[in-house]
Amino acid sequence: MSTDAPQNDMPEMPELTIGSDAVEATDAAPAVARVAPTIRGKVDRFGVCWGTGRRKTAVARVRVKDGSGQITVNGRPMTQYFPLITDQHAVLAVLKATSMLEKVEVIIQVEGGGSTGQSGACKLGIARALQAKNPELHPILTEGSYLTRDDRKVERKKYGHKKARRSFQFSKR
């Protein structure tokens, strides 16, 4: 037995340092590699970018090319086709966020659904076409959630109910 070692049966406890391991781990952690974004739009041989947008039952086929900022929906100006201001803002939101409002010409063919569904489909189609035109716009488009499809649809009517969830009035007597 050595005389300089303590005669203690207790195991030696490590020194308590709260949070010191976490700081060291973040400094030594490697950078996370980002996955390349999926581009759903297409660019044809003439330099025209195509994007398809869907919302509820509406489908919009969007063509984006360099131009003066004119927006045409089914052969009519956008303000004439979408008389509601909210629908106009939905279509213009993507172009304003990317500051491409006066730089590109947008031609849209949309069918199905109502005005709100059609404007939402146009918004997604424009975002996909702009991403195909310039992939560097991807962070701006994802931050505003313009590339996310809104998959909500009308719920079906159920048997024994008046509507999708509304039941007939219950009479106790």
**pLDDT, tens only, 101-123:** 999 999 999 999 999 999 999 99
What is residue 2's predicted lDDT score, i.e. its pLDDT? 57
- pLDDT band with cut points at 50, 70 and 90 for residue 36: confident
State the virtual CA torsion across 39, 40, 46, 48 in degrees, nearest 10: -100
State mean pLDDT over 29-47.
Answer: 80
Surface-to-core class of residue 61, CB atoms within 10 Å of its CB (0-12 exposed, 13-18 middle, 19+ buried): middle
What is residue 12's predicted lDDT score, i.e. its pLDDT? 75
Please tell me which residue, 35 or 14, carries the higher pLDDT value.
Answer: 35
- pLDDT band with cut points at 50, 70 and 90 for residue 37: confident
Please tell me which residue, 71 or 29, carries the higher pLDDT value.
Answer: 71
Share of the chain above pLDDT 90, in %: 73
- pLDDT band with cut points at 50, 70 and 90 for residue 15: confident
State mean pLDDT over 154-171.
Answer: 95
Give yes or no for a contact between 35 and 93, defined as CB atoms under 8 angstroms apart. Answer: no
Give the angle 111-114-120 at the CA atoms, nearest 5°: 80
- pLDDT band with cut points at 50, 70 and 90 for residue 35: confident
DSSP string, 114-145: -HHHHHHHHHHHHHHHHHHH-GGGHHHHHHTT
Share of the chain above pLDDT 70, in %: 84
Residue whose pair of structure tokens reads 């966020």 in the numeric block: 97
The pTM score is 0.77
Tokens coding 40: 């759903």
72 residue type, one letter: T
